[in-house]
Structure 1
């Protein structure tokens, strides 16, 4: 009896204490402050346009789309006093065409908002990115591991970052040859059974070769695709972008990755304030987020076809699709998708989802680069 009473008292104490705990909300989470976010770089590739995007931060409780910074004056300035003004096209997007930075020169970004607040970056040199040697892939752990390989024969790069865009082809469960228009079945004018979908990398991927005698990156892991992924169902493509960084730039992205991608246990880095090479000249206490650089981007594309991985079976999301046979009167009443004529009086039908691949988020326009 005494043990039972102690157990009941313990549970009551736990419930009482638990009911008195309020969730901790750091003041920064609900802060009304909105800081400038700068995204872009001065492209040193001959003839390539430069694009700088300006937006504003928002607190975690805000569900609205981020606010873009419009009507700002955005210029790129060299230490030799040359000034290049970017033009705003789409709201918050500023571009410069016909100007290529000179190797050996240093440049900075200068922003003056419509409210008169001024921001500058540090002066940074032009850093050319070496080409990507290859994008390799191999089957492992019931999936495909994709890696990148590169090197700088001059041993000058040493700091690297990568991004990538994925594209994959897929088909709907059935091909619809008819569609109901004005209560009449007519031949489908546009085929909607073949689509392409896209995704972009979200993780920050960096590495350094400073501890190596040669500036060589071998088999750096970019992404892993499970063998069951729809990405590998027909054909898959990845476009890799490689960026050479200064040590300052590498330190910025490396620290940003640590506090945004490795938080989950008491042993991971704790959230902290990260600043790039931009600052507010009007108010030294105001934050500005981003990192301005000058240089080029190296790209390379890889394709993987289904025939290269025949032992994998992709889960398409269409596994539950079924068919039915209906008369024209039943089709007019129930509005299913029509696959084809079944017999003299009935049609083979299914749900619209099972014939229109666009409902999976894809597009039916074939990408220009598709092979």
Structure 2
């Protein structure tokens, strides 16, 4: 969601008559202004830490990470004039701990950049998020479809948004106890065949129950995990985060999703500008992107193991092979030794990719939540 907000302020599609389409990039796309982007919320759970991230918008074609907004003065203010300053830790990330919003109060975000430009959000109420009833999954199209279920017995929420973090465990096909270092075969100081890799949701996922007789969300689709990935090769986990939204908040995310995720054809929603509830008071014509909200977040985690699924899972190492080399061959070809080949002077070898799981993007540290 954050990257979508960073890269969205104007989209253009030019159709030329005559059966020929020529690419056109107007100045607004190729040389956009640098606008403030806010991502985060005031967490109303007792003892929770609230995080606000500030960065700058960028060209639609830019692939580098967005520029973060550092050394800003960031505060959260109540309508009754209470003020809570946030502290910058990691560059562009501002946090507040030990402060719990009061039910019935409204709050706004105030940002003053290092250059003296000031931004205020609208005052927003505290919205409590109902618990997640369950995160369910089913076998579908040779993969696993993961869904979320929730409801509000008070029939007051109606607007929902979700994010998720996924983590999966995997192993290399070969366990190597040796490595080539400075043209010497030595013992490995630690194992490199077991890894954990993580990813997060990138799409904006929202739904509304306003047209239903009850405030119930049943089997809302979150993510499909294909058997063609290695996510299900050992164990997979997903942590789902659920947010209750106000109607303006829902409208913001819903519109943002439409113009960033449905731009594949001329029949999709037309590109437009969307900003949120953050406004520049120094210069009213200056855009600001993001939606400040106050409320709780509900979470639920599930695990799926390879024994739970009926299909063969992919390891990601189908092309790995093993061979036997002498020490001279290992040095000559800079191969990766695995272990001695019996009582001979030869070694079992493979490629480094097939013995070091980190090369597939994982880390060796077992997550604290893993079981």
Distance 1:53 1:226 in 2: 32
CA contact (8 A) 1:147 1:223 kept: yes
CA offsets, 1:124-175, max 9 Å, x none?
0000111100000010111111000001111111100000001011111211
8 Å CA contact 1:321–1:354 kept in 2: the answer is yes
- Give 1:155-234 correspondences, 5 Å limit: 155-234=155-234
The match for 2:327 is 328
| Cα separation, 2, equivalents of 1:27 and 1:158 | 40
**CA 1:62/1:147 → structure 2, altered by over 3 Å: closer, same or farther?**
closer
Shift of 1:330: 1.8
Report the alpha carbon displacement of residue 64 of structure 1 after superposing the two structures with TM: 4.1
Once residues 258 and 316 of structure 1 are traced to their aligned partners in structure 2, the CA distance between those partners, rounded to angstroms, is: 35
Deviations 1:266-318 (A, max 9, x none): 21101100120111111111110000000010000010011111x32223231
- Distance of 1:77 and 1:200 partners within structure 2: 31
C-alpha displacement of 1:345:
1.2
Query: Does 2:40 correspond to 1:40?
Result: yes
1:193-213 per-position Cα deviation (integer Å, ceiling 9, x unaligned): 111111111110000111111
TM-aligned CA deviation for residue 23 of structure 1: 2.2
Contact 2:306 2:313 in 1 (8 A): no
Q: Structure 2: any 5+ residue segments left out of the alignment? A: 1-17
On the 8 A contact 2:229/2:316 being kept in 1, the answer is: no
Structure 2: distance between partners of 1:61 and 1:243: 30
Per the alignment, do residues 196 and 123 of structure 1 end up closer, same or farther by CA in structure 2, a change over 3 Å counting? same
- Following superposition, the deviation at residue 63 of structure 1 comes to 4.7
- Taking the aligned partners of 2:261 and 2:22, their CA distance within structure 1 comes to 26
Taking a change above 3 Å as real, the CA distance of residues 258 and 40 of structure 1, as seen in their structure-2 partners, is same
Q: 1:127, 1:352 → 2: CA distance?
A: 51
Q: 1:184: Cα distance to partner?
A: 3.3
Count of aligned pairs between the two proteins: 353
Secondary structure at the aligned position of 2:231 is classed as helix
**Is residue 2:331 matched to residue 1:340?**
no
- Report the more deviating stretch, 341-350 or 123-132: 341-350
Q: What secondary structure does 1:250 align onto?
A: helix
Residue by residue, what CA displacement relative to the aligned partner does 1:113-132 show, whole Å, maximum 9, x if unpaired? 11111100000000011110
- TM-score w.r.t. the length of structure 1 is 0.92
**Distance in 2 of aligned mates of 1:222 and 1:325:** 46
- Asked whether the equivalents of residues 28 and 59 of structure 1 are also in contact (C-alpha less than 8 Å), the reply is no
Q: Find the aligned partners of 2:275 and 2:336 in 1 and give their Cα distance.
A: 54
For 1:329, what is the secondary structure of its paired residue? Answer: helix
Structure 1 residues 275, 307: closer, same or farther in 2, change over 3 A? same
Aligned to 2:13: none
Q: Is the 8 A contact 2:106 2:125 kept in 1?
A: yes
| Per-residue deviation, 1:27 | 2.4
Find the residue that maps to 1:231 and give its secondary structure.
coil
Of residues 242-251 and 85-94 in structure 1, the stretch that sits farther from structure 2 once superposed is: 85-94
Give the Cα separation in 2 of the matches to 1:57 and 1:67.
Answer: 8
Asked if the contact 1:340/1:347 (under 8 Å) is kept, the reply is yes
- The 8 Å contact of residues 228 and 312 in structure 1, kept in 2 or not, is answered as no
| Rg larger for | 1
- Match of residue 76 from structure 1: 76
How far has the Cα of 1:49 moved from its partner?
A: 1.1
2:55 is the alignment partner of 1:55: yes
Query: Which SS does the other structure have where 1:80 is aligned?
Result: coil
Q: Distance in 2 between matches of 1:112 and 1:262?
A: 34
Q: Within 1, Cα distance between the matches of 2:269 and 2:355?
A: 47
Aligned residue for 1:29, secondary structure, equals: helix
Measured on the aligned residues, the alpha-carbon RMSD in Å equals: 1.5
Structure 1 runs not aligned, ≥5 long: 1-16
| Alignment correspondent of 1:295 | 295
Question: Which secondary structure state, in structure 2, belongs to the residue aligned with residue 28 of structure 1?
Answer: helix
CA separation in 2, counterparts of 1:146 and 1:356? 30
